[in-house]
Structure 1
Amino acid sequence: MASVNWSDTAPLVAFLGTFAAAIGLPVPAMPTLILVGAGLVTASSPLLVLPTFVGALAGAFAGDAAWFLAGRRFGYRVLDGLCRVSLSPDTCVRRASGFFEKRGVKLLLISRFIPGLSLVAIPIAGAGDTRFSRFTLYDLAGAALWVVVGLSAGMVFYRQIDAVLTLLRQFGVGMAALAAAGLLVWIGFRYVRRALLIASLRRSRISVDELSMLLARDPGALIVDVRSASSRRDDPYVIPGSRLFDFSSADTQLATLPRNTSVIIYCSCPNEVSAAKVAERLTKLGFANVRPLTGGLDAWRDSGRDVEAIVLAT
């Protein structure tokens, strides 16, 4: 690493790495910070530590601010777009919303240390009622902590990192190919698993028209809304007669549902996978007739059918 001119590149590399990661590009920002920190030591550039820290912090905040403002402008539609490209689109919004519901904007102090959480939590903050000044305070504090950890790790363990880089230069092609193959296998497994879940429940889905006919025949059918609390606040309407389902108290709520009636599950998520997962859980617990609603709440509303307002606790 001694051949790299860190006096010219460290602040810029730190800025670009953290900014790219903050806007969602597949850039390993923490390893980049660690390498930059190690490079600063081996290049004997102590005067560059502060500019590099500022560059990394500026890149992280610039990307975060863009997502916050996008969430403020477009609401939860931003999250739908993010989760369509996620390896876990069925859970990414629900998990981030659950974390944010419990901890609020303070979640930004630690969100960068949990892969994928920061990218989703920040638009949620923007879509809610978080003030930009409050977002700025907690986001800068969390980003500063994250940058300090990355740079410090590189500066403390620079000898070990230099040895690893030397090894990679000797066996780089083979090790890189092995790592890439492992990553592709893991990604393929996640997508195949999700595709199999969707395929297994696709035949049992019910359309909006079928649901209308079912309700005419069986007014006692249960309709269950499985959206997150944040999604319900953003769109406080449900299909008439719906019960609200909360994943945080799922076991208790599942125990109260009668097993001998039709149960219709819906959400407002990409591919209705959250609804499908709830349907799968209910089926395993002995519910005989559980069907996800194709298109969820959006399809019901788009068909011109009535929705009713819900009153949410403040």
Structure 2
Amino acid sequence: MDLLTDLFSRHGVVAVALAVLLEQLGAPLPSTPVLLLAGVESAVRDGFAVRAFVAATLAATVANGLWFWAGRRLGRRVLAALCVISISPDTCVRQNEASFVRRGVLTLVIAKFVPGLSILAPPLAGALGMPVRRFLGWNLLGSALWAGTAIAIGRVFHEQIDALLRALGKLGSLALMLAALAVLAYLGWRLWRRAVVKRELRLFERVAPADAAALVDGRSGVVFVDVRATSPDMPLASRIPGARHLDLGLLSRPGGDALAGWPVSAEFITYCACPDDASAVRAARWLKQQGRHARVLRGGIEAWTRAGLALEAV
């Protein structure tokens, strides 16, 4: 522990920048403890807080900018890879889309304070077509608030944190062992949770794009249900012809009828643009709870497009 604090006192700014950069690029290693330690160090080193703040903000901005660019270039496909990197359940995409619909650009301000939202917000903003200048401005504000808050907390509680570090230092190798066990337990829980979610998603009934198109050609009682997040600021560009939109954010709210005017005897085929069709599965389950017949379009709208099937402008 003494070696760790000594290294931080010598290379603190580099440690802050590297920790933030790695976390924002997707490594499952929290950088907030490093920012708190930077706040502690700032209590005894004049000007260190400013240097650490600038380093953390710039590192986060660079990493977020790369993911935003990836989202613009690769669309929602990059989100599937990010869900794997961040060891998050695939429903993380749906939650982040819902946050953009409810809060808009404010999502970028609060993203780094919400576990699971930080890593996905930048590429999702790119995939949803957010203007570059708007992204850069709001993301910079969010990065600065997050870094500044963590460093300020470390500075205010530097005595308590320093006392905790000294206590851990007395434990020696036992402290490192306990820390390693805590990290492994956390990663193990996240991996287990992801496996459970993926198993539940795989068990739901799906229909291939070609078979779904054949159903539509064969009878008129088939209704496609688009569950992708959308808002006036970030509208959808296209959809499967005749598809109805279902806002997943309204399903858990009391009152109202999300299915008002929908045909009662129709077969519903839900689709999204997310890993493992997570949002579409949730919508199909909800429809079945309402007594409707529902299946999921395997691969979502991207599989439909790859199959060469038609889309219509929204």
TM-score (structure 2 length as normaliser):
0.84
In structure 2, the partner of 1:208 is: 209
Query: Which residue in 2 is equivalent to 1:299?
Result: 303
Specify the alignment match of 2:185 in structure 1: 182
Give the Cα–Cα distance (whole angstroms) in 1 for the partners of residues 52 and 85 of structure 2.
31
Deviations 1:37-65 (A, max 9, x none): 21333xx2123222222222221222122
Q: Is contact 2:111–2:118 with CA below 8 Å preserved after alignment? A: yes
After superposition, residues 245-260 of structure 1 pair within 5 angstroms as 245-250=246-251, 252-254=257-259, 256-260=261-265
The AA in structure 2 aligned to 1:4 is: D
- Contact persistence 1:84–1:270 (CA under 8 A): no
Within a 5 Å distance, the mapping from 1:92-241 to structure 2 comes to 92-169=92-169, 170=171, 171-201=174-204, 204-229=205-230, 236-241=237-242
Aligned to 1:31: 33
One-letter amino acid of the structure 2 residue matched with residue 134 of structure 1: R
Letter of the 1:160 partner, please give it.
Q
Counterpart amino acid of residue 175 in structure 1: L
Instruction: Report what 1:76 is aligned to.
Output: 76
Partner amino acid, structure 2, of 1:210: D
State how far apart, in whole Å, the 2-side matches of 1:111 and 1:283 are.
33
Aligned to 2:24: 22
Instruction: Determine if contact 1:7/1:48 at 8 Å carries over to the other structure.
Output: no
Report the Cα offset of residue 256 of structure 1. 4.9
Q: What SS is found at the alignment partner of 2:251?
A: helix
- Whole-angstrom distance in 2 between the partners of 1:256 and 1:136: 42
CA distance in 2, matches of 1:214, 1:129: 33
Q: Give a deviation string over 1:227-281, Cα, whole Å, max 9, x none.
A: 2227x96862222221111113336324654553322111222221211121122
Which deviates more, 74-83 or 239-248? 74-83
RMSD of the alignment, in Å? 2.8
8 Å CA contact 2:32–2:150 kept in 1: the answer is yes
Counterpart of 2:287? Answer: 282
Taking structure 1 as the reference length, what is the TM-score of the superposition?
0.84
Change in CA separation of 1:290 and 1:6 when aligned onto 2, cut-off 3 Å = closer
Flag structure 2 segments of 5+ consecutive residues without an equivalent: none
Counting aligned pairs with the same residue, the percent is 36
Matches of 2:11 and 2:87, distance apart in 1 = 33
1:114, distance to aligned residue in structure 2 (A): 1.0
- For residues 212 and 72 of structure 1, the distance between their equivalents in structure 2, rounded to whole angstroms, comes to 29
| CA contact 1:7–1:45 (8 Å) conserved in 2 | no
In structure 2, the partner of 1:9 is 11
Code of the residue aligned with 1:145 in structure 2: it is L
Q: Look up the equivalent residue of 1:277 and give its one-letter code.
A: R
Name the amino acid aligned to 2:178. Answer: M
- Gap regions ≥5 residues in structure 1: none
Q: Deviations over 1:87-135 (max 9, x none)?
A: 4453322222222233332332222111222322222333455443433
Is the 2:89–2:198 contact (alpha carbons within 8 Å) kept by the matching residues of 1? no
1:194 partner amino acid = V
Matched residue SS, 1:26: coil
For 2:87 and 2:8, the matched residues in 1 are separated by 35
Structure (1/2) with the larger helix percentage: 1
* Distance in 1 separating the partners of 2:8 and 2:306: 56
Classify 1:250/1:9 alpha carbon distance in 2 versus 1 (closer, same or farther; 3 Å).
same
Distance (Å, rounded) in 2 between the aligned partners of 1:48 and 1:129: 38
Q: Provide closer, same or farther for how the CA distance between residues 33 and 301 of structure 1 changes in structure 2, counting only shifts above 3 A.
A: same
64 and 306 in structure 1: CA distance in 2 versus 1, 3 angstrom threshold? closer
- Matched position secondary structure for 2:270: strand
CA contact (8 A) 2:39 2:152 kept: yes
2:245 alignment counterpart:
244
Partner deviation per Cα, 1:136-174 (whole Å, 9 max, x = no partner): 332222222211211122122222223322343413155
Is residue 40 from structure 1 mapped to residue 48 from structure 2 by the alignment? no
For 2:310 and 2:128, how far apart are their aligned partners in 1? 26
Change in CA separation of 1:181 and 1:118 when aligned onto 2, cut-off 3 Å: closer
How far the C-alpha of 1:6 sits from its partner, in A, is 4.8
Give the Å deviation of 1:291.
Answer: 1.0
